[in-house]
Structure formats: C-alpha cells, structure tokens
Amino acid sequence: MSRMFFIAFLIISITCPAQKTTSNDWKMKTENAEFLHRAMKQVTDVIVHDIFSPPVTSRTYAYVSVAAYETLIQGNNNYTSLAGQLHDLEALPIKENKIEYSPTLAAVHALLTTSKHFVLSEEKIDGFEKTLLEEFRTLGIPKTTYDSSIAYGQQVAEHIIAWANKDNYKQIQSMSDYRVRNDVGSWKPTPPAYMKAIEPNWNKLRTFMIDSAQQFKPVPPPPFSTDTASTFYKDVVAVYEKVNTNTAEENEIANFWDCNPFKMNVRGHVMYATKKISPNGHWMNITSLTCKKSNASVLKSAEAYATVAVTLADAFISCWDEKYRSSVIRPETYINQHIDPNWLPVLQTPPFPEYTSGHSVVSSAAAIMLGKLFGETFEFSDNTEVEFGLPVRNFGSFKQAAEEAAISRFYGGIHYMPAIVNGQEEGYAIGAFFANNLRTNSK
C-alpha cells in the first residue's frame, strides 16, 4: 500500500509543477527601482548635454522627481502626498481602483514625460523612453494594465507641468540681465569668456516649501576693502596663498567637486566648452548610488529623489537671493587687480557673484536630508565623476562629503572662507527645515 502511494505521489509531483506560473508574475519584475534610476540618469545626461545652469537644473530635478513620487504613492497608505505641503501643489489625480496598474511603469512615464517640458533635447528623452517601454512590454504586462499605467503617468505629468507653469519661471526669463556695477568692490565678469551673470532674478521663482527666498538669509559678508589690515583683504590673501601651496590631494578635491556645467577652454584663438554635471546633479547621483547600495525599493528611491530635489531647489533660490544682494567680487578679479596680475585659480571662476558659496549651501542641505533618510553614518563610494575622467572618492557620511564639497571651493580659488562657512550654515538650516517639516513616509 505504501509503495503504491509513493508511486502515485511521484507521478503527481512530476506532472504538477511545485509553483504554478501566474498571470501576475510581471508585477515582481516591473516593481524594480532600477527602472527609476535609469530614467533619472537619462534626465541627468540630457541636462548635461543641454548645458543648463545650476539653478535651472535644480528646478528640473524637483518637478520630475515629484512627478515620479506622486505617481508611485497613489493608493499606498504608507506614504504621504506632497500636495498641500509644497506651495500651490494641488491634490494629484486619483487612480481608478477597479483598474490594474504597474506603479513603476506609470512613474517612469510620468518622470520622463515631465522632463520633456524642461529640456531642449526632447528627442533624447523620447528615444530612451521608447527603448525602456519595450523592456516593460517584454515582462508580460497585460495590455490593459500597460495602457492604464501609461495613461495614469500621463495624467500626473500634465498635473505637475501645470503646477510648474505657474512658478514665475517664464516671467524671470524675460526680465532684464544683471547690470554690472561700476564700484570697485562688486562682482565683475571673469575670464576666459567673461560671461554675463547667470540667473540674477532667480530669487523671484516660487519657492517649493520655504516661506520666501529670504527665510534663511545668511549673515552679510565682510565689507569690501583694499586695506591690508582689513578682514576682507586677509580673506583674499588666504585664498591666494592656499592656491599657491595646494597639495596634490587638495587639487584633486577641487577638481572632483568642480561640477562646472560649462567650462570654457581656450587654445590660442580657439575656444570650446567642456560639459560636466552640475552640483545638484552630483547630489542627485549620490542619492541614486545610496539607494542602490541600500537596496531601496522603488518607493523609497522615489521618496529620496523627491525630498532631496526639492531641498536642493529651495537651497538654490536662497543662495542666489544672497548672491545678487551682496554682489561680492570674486577672488580672481580682486587678486589680479590688487595683488598679482598673473595669478590664476585652480578652477574656472563661475559667472555669478561670490557670496555665498553655492556648493556649500546645496551640499549641506542635501546632506541633512540624505542623513535623515539613510542615516548619519552611511558610508559610500562616490563614482559620479568617473565618466568625466576623475577617480572615485570615499566618504564615511553625507556630511563629510558636504564638508569636502564646501572646502573644495577654497582649494579651487573661487571662494573666500566666509562664503563657505556661512554658506554651510545657510544650507544646514534649509536642510533641517525640510527634514523636520516635509512629510513623506507616514510610518
């Protein structure tokens, strides 16, 4: 009897698979954060190609990241919408419960569709999305699910674009350029291209969560002076002497955090540009590699992108507000006029006033938000600059990376120490404001 039972059991085991393939297997395959990371990297690549200024880049990242986050959290009680928290963002379209969706597919489509509203090279986004969507189709998503996911992602994208269209950006672009002041102590265009000042009216952009561009106004910079006993002169000499005595490691740090989207190169009578990632693009990439190292879900990854991006965006508004209020002269200009006409900084001086340091502000703000999400002692290897020919740098925390990003501007010869130290305080305050007040995960 027992022998017959064993044979029957064996036959059943052979003819009936232990785990039957179901029609929902596509769900596990599509809810993969890598799709989101690849979409965000494509946006970064197009931003680099299109040569966006750092403030404009921060605006783009904020809107596309919010689009992805809001798409993914619909119907998920563990996450809170940013509607009602970010200025003028109204409740997002609601998914129909009776229809099945792929949240990741919908979110990727929302992110990429939104991004096309901001970039110049739309065709690069189109081509990438076409390839990505073909990958989704090969995973066995039912046609009705595929179509409903794309349709919902489109709804969210249109909602976010409508929100973005009311942030005063178009009006800012039609405002007058910055008029260079004649006094000796104010910012002047710098070599080699002597470009006009970038985004002098950025403080008029609608903020994302801070009350206004002035909410985290830093202390004023030291007053301009050519008196050798003055604080300002001593700050200038500190930059001059630091660049002249930099170690190889300090020069490497300066170049690693350069993040100049449009470095102008001069070879005789030929001038050409080198395109690189922006400082906020660098921190968005740090967000990406952090999510990957921690095996963050697609929802957690979207939360990280969105919270870091809106923090960066308001940090830029705050920083740019101060830059054009104080209009501090750059070290290169001062040193060439008053100390050494042949002196050159390690880095090319960017085309906007000196105070406060943008890297110091935005890096400090991003570090606070990332520390909240992933821990204050999260170790990571930053490979952001590898594609631009620079080696990996290792950090024991986000704050350590932010501190290195800040001091890199001193090593690079493009900022005085007050812009760095006070910029860090400005950034830490903005980061803490977002970390303490922006609600995402409801657990």
Amino acid, single-letter form, for residue 333: T
Q: Is 355 exposed, middle or buried (0-12, 13-18, 19+ CB in 10 A)?
A: buried
| Residue whose pair of structure tokens reads 């910079």 in the numeric block | 221
pLDDT, mean of residues 206-234? 98
Residue 8 has pLDDT above 90, yes or no: no
- Beta strand pairing status for 380-382 and 393-395? antiparallel
pLDDT at res. 52: 94
Query: Rounded mean pLDDT of the chain?
Result: 92
Where are any strands of DSSP class E within 213-358?
Answer: 263-267, 270-274
Residue 433 has pLDDT above 90, yes or no: yes
pLDDT at res. 268: 66
Domain with CATH 1.10.606.20 in the chain: 186-197+206-437
pLDDT at res. 267: 67
Rounded distance between C-alpha atoms, residue 280 and residue 313, angstroms: 9
- From residue 428, alpha-carbon distances to 365, 433, 437 in Å are 5, 9, 14
Rounded distance between C-alpha atoms, residue 218 and residue 229, angstroms: 25
In percent, the amount of the chain with pLDDT more than 70 equals: 92
pLDDT at res. 123: 98
Residues 6 or more apart whose CB falls under 8 angstroms from that of 279 comprise: 54, 257, 259, 358, 359, 362, 363, 405
Residue 237 has pLDDT above 80, yes or no: yes
- Label residue 30 by pLDDT band (50, 70, 90): confident
Higher local confidence (pLDDT), 25 or 164: 164
Task: Specify the range with the lowest mean pLDDT, choosing from 53-57, 191-195, 419-423.
Answer: 191-195
Residue 251 has pLDDT above 90, yes or no: yes
Rounded distance between C-alpha atoms, residue 37 and residue 19, angstroms: 31
Q: What is the distance of C-alpha 18 from the center of its chain? A: 47
Residue 210 has pLDDT above 50, yes or no: yes
Residue 10 has pLDDT above 60, yes or no: no
CATH class of 186-197+206-437: mainly alpha
pLDDT at res. 22: 47
Higher local confidence (pLDDT), 272 or 148: 148
Residues 6 or more apart whose CB falls under 8 angstroms from that of 161 comprise: 63, 114, 117
Residues 6 or more apart whose CB falls under 8 angstroms from that of 395 comprise: 379, 380, 381, 382, 401, 404
Domain 26-168, classified CATH 1.20.144, yes or no = yes
- Label residue 226 by pLDDT band (50, 70, 90): very high
Domain with CATH 1.20.144 in the chain: 26-168
- Label residue 361 by pLDDT band (50, 70, 90): very high
pLDDT at res. 64: 98
pLDDT, mean of residues 315-321? 98
- Label residue 271 by pLDDT band (50, 70, 90): low
Residue 20 has pLDDT above 90, yes or no: no
